[in-house]
Structure 1
Amino acid sequence: MIERVKDDGDEQALTTGIDEKSLKAAVWYTVAQIAQEEEIELGRSMSEPFVASLTELVYAQAEHLALELKAFAAHAGRCTIREEDVKLVCRKSTVLQELLEEEAQRCNTASSTLMAAGTKNAGIKPKKLSKPKPVRVGGLAGTSTSRNLID
């Protein structure tokens, strides 16, 4: 459920009905899952306090990203965050810019292929695209094979 929150006549935020506690729990679960995968790959164990600290770091970074995206959209006079807002936030990281460009090209290619197939086969429904697999960047515990997002 999305609802607009107003204070003194100004739009403040959009909420999705998910409270902060549930969101933090979901972030913790995801970070813990990735940590377990990295433990197996690296042959090292990660303490619970480390996972908790990493979760807080990820959550704080996500909050910061959300505020920046909201500010860029508001500066452009919009309430909707667009691709160009994400590109502006990531402008200082060449690795992130490259990943965004690759994903945008992949999405554009897939959608143009579907549109072309739709005009040729008007009676046939196009196949739904599978969700893209997440790309792990900036691994845990100093892995050298992962790509660092911060330049």
Structure 2
Amino acid sequence: MADTTREEDRERLKSALWYAVGQIVDEECLKRNRNATPQFIGALTEMTLLQIENVAIDLETFCNHAGRSTVTTDDVLLLARKNPDLHRIMKNYVDEIKADKEAAAGSSRSGAAKKNKAKK
């Protein structure tokens, strides 16, 4: 029963991916005045699905190796290590988010400190 549900979920996800890939291919074909066959879209979908599965397995492996049950940005950055340009872009993005969070936490702490001073 669980295997049937899992297989049904996989087929639904694959159908959704097929649709999304088809939409992207259609957009690009219109821009470039080209045509793509359904076989091409199917092959591209299969290749994309395989890449997604490989990424998921790698992320899960990195996460488990670190003794965690949740994938973190460190796992994603580790996955991107063999593509220096992608790694740099992702690292900069993660650093920006961390800096924003620290700035927000700092301003909320200073606001709380000002309230405490005002009460005294």
TM-score range, shorter chain: 0.7 to 0.9
Change (3 A) 1:80 1:35: same
Q: Can you list the C-alpha shifts for 1:76-98, whole angstroms capped at 9, x where unaligned?
A: 11111111111111110112212
Counterpart of 1:98 in structure 2 is 88
**Map 1:8-87 → 2, pairs under 5 A:** 19-87=9-77
More strand by proportion, 1 or 2?
1
| Residue aligned with 1:100, SS | helix
1:46 to partner: Cα distance: 1.2
1:105 to partner: Cα distance: 3.5
1:121 to partner: Cα distance: 7.4
* Structure 1 gaps, min length 5: 6-15, 123-151
Q: Percent identity?
A: 31
More helix by proportion, 1 or 2?
2
Aligned partner of 2:82: which letter? Answer: K
Aligned partner of 1:81: which letter? Answer: V
Worse overlay, 109-118 or 42-51: 109-118
Change (3 A) 1:71 1:46: same
Contact kept, 8 Å, 2:18 with 2:45, in 1: the verdict is: yes
Q: TM-score, normalised by structure 1?
A: 0.60
Larger radius of gyration: 2
Q: TM-score, normalised by structure 2?
A: 0.73
Q: Distance in 1 between matches of 2:9 and 2:64?
A: 24
1:112 to partner: Cα distance: 4.4
Contact kept, 8 Å, 2:77 with 2:91, in 1: the verdict is: no
| Residue aligned with 2:34, SS | coil
Q: Distance in 2 between matches of 1:114 and 1:26?
A: 38
1:42 to partner: Cα distance: 1.9
Q: Distance in 2 between matches of 1:111 and 1:39?
A: 41
Change (3 A) 1:112 1:77: closer
* Structure 2 gaps, min length 5: 113-120
Q: Distance in 1 between matches of 2:58 and 2:72?
A: 12
